[in-house]
Amino acid sequence: MKIIIGIGGVTNGGKTTLTNRLLKTLPNCCVVHQDDFFKKPDQIEVGEDGFRQWDVITALDMEAMISTVKGWQENPVKFARSHGISLSPEAEESDSEDKGVHILIVEGFLIYNYKPFIDVYDKCFYISIPYEECKRRRSTRTYTVPDPPGLFDGHVWPMYLKHRKEMEDNCDRIEYLDGMTSKEDIYNKVYESVQNCLLNQL
């Protein structure tokens, strides 16, 4: 059995923290991080707002991301091994994915804004936090390409609002999570929801 879980959300909402915890507790679980598919800085256009357009879908190589997910779908055992993921003894003994449960987490800030991806997910989660908290968290983070002054208000937040509306129009199966609640609460809610999904598919 194979299931794909989407963990989307606003920048600095807690997506990676949640994903890392689920990776440790869900069986035969792999992850694809959308952030790994950013194009090189010189390929990122400068928009009318005067900023490099990092927070839009064209900043990402979505075709490469889809082919990575397809690689997992075709052979989750091989995918896990090539990514250094330890499998359960049951899955390890078998080269076919018929044995046991295989889970893929797709994590990122625009994972519900690319039409070819929408039908891939068995479960869709989205973490949101309010403007002030998001701005505060973002200011404490260090990025490979540092944020220029004014980027959050001039580009990051306006793009988040635009894409959130687009996402809500695209996908009606999203379970929303309040990023202001404790990490423990968010994790428990998602873990329970995933377990129910697995039971329903047995």
For residue 200, what are the contacts with CB-CB under 8 A and spacing of at least 6? none
pTM comes to 0.91
> The domain containing residue 134 runs over which residues?
2-201
Give the catalytic positions in this structure: 35
Q: What is the CATH number of the domain that holds 68?
A: 3.40.50.300
Residue 82 has a pLDDT of 87
Q: How far apart, in whole angstroms, are the C-alpha atoms of residue 36 and residue 30?
A: 14
Determine phi and psi for 119, rounding to 5 degrees. -85, -5
Give the tens place of pLDDT for each residue, 132-157.
999 999 999 887 778 889 999 999 99
By the 8 A CB rule, do 90 and 100 touch? yes
Give the tens place of pLDDT for each residue, 55-108.
999 999 999 999 999 999 999 999 988 888 878 777 766 655 556 899 999 999
Q: How far apart, in whole angstroms, are the C-alpha atoms of residue 121 and residue 201?
A: 14
**In the chain, how many domains are there?**
1
Question: What burial letters (b/e) apply to 184-196, b meaning 16+ CB within 10 Å?
Answer: eebbebbeeebee
